[in-house]
Amino acid sequence: MNYIITVLQSLRITDILDILIVAYLFYKIYGLISYTRAIQLLKGIGALLIFWQLSEYVGLRMVHFFLRNVLSFGALALVIIFHPELRRALEYLGRNKLISRSFFIPAEANNSQFISEIITAAENLSNSKTGALLVIEGETGLNDIIDTGTEIDSQIKSTLLENIFFPKSPLHDGATIIRDDRIIAAGCLLPLSNDRSVSRDLGTRHRAALGMSSNSDALIIVVSEETGVISVAHNNELERYISLTRLKNMIEKFTADKDKRFSRILKGAKDEEVL
């Protein structure tokens, strides 16, 4: 009891802050790797560490020597094995509000106009039960995804979007990428989600939307070709049976938040120039 009191009396504010930061980091790391293969691999590594210590305590020198050499290559093995999770973690860090891929604000887009075109296209595609996959870029750059498709670089028009996803169109199976108020590319390939908790009723488009949302901060719109149901994926979450009003509100909020971030960056740059 006296020992605990002594420790508590010696605690400083910086020590408490240090503990909270480490706890927060562990919480975030667990959130990134939970429900992935990484959590099972970590359990395996933990078991190896326990056996390593036990082998030394019991006196199993050969086992201890073997485990020690295996664990000595642990750092390299972790990088190789946890590559998808590490990439996800770094992309999450890159999407942090304190870090931005751009230090300037782009030309103002007519948000209401292009949102209206997207809503019209989504409504018509849903009514005709035409499958569609539309990705609205956020702060995470999607050039690697754009390179897998066909460059278009056109103003957003509902008729163009409907023609892209027309069943006999050569680009209808891929995703269409939107950056600001322009259609950048179509027929793009998206990474599929490996999450086993995803319902088996969902098709390839929905899995691609979830996969893209887990690797970026993009807003992904999906129209089912079987039912015409509209779904939206964002931040590794999928919301189905989206109404047109709900879809419009989601896109407006997404673009507004992005514009606010750019505005803060521009204001900060101007303040530095004044100084």
pLDDT at residue number 100? 46
- CA angle 34/35/37 to nearest 5° reads 95
| Higher pLDDT among residues 16 and 135, named by residue | 135
| Higher pLDDT among residues 232 and 198, named by residue | 232
Instruction: Please answer whether residues 172 and 164 qualify as being in contact, where contact means their C-beta atoms are separated by less than 8 angstroms.
Output: yes
Alpha helices, DSSP H, located in 95-232: 111-127, 143-146, 158-164, 204-215
Query: pLDDT tens across 83-139, in order?
Result: 666 666 666 666 554 444 444 444 445 578 899 999 999 999 999 999 999 999 988
Residue 153 pLDDT > 70: yes
pLDDT at residue number 32? 63
* Average pLDDT, integer, range 237-255: 94
Domains by residue range for the chain, with CATH: 2-94 (no CATH), 111-270 (3.40.1700.10)
Least confident of 47-56, 127-136, 257-266: 257-266
| Higher pLDDT among residues 204 and 87, named by residue | 204
Closest CA to 135 of 241, 209, 194: 209
pLDDT at residue number 207? 92
Of 163-172, 199-208, 254-263, where does the model show the most confidence?
163-172
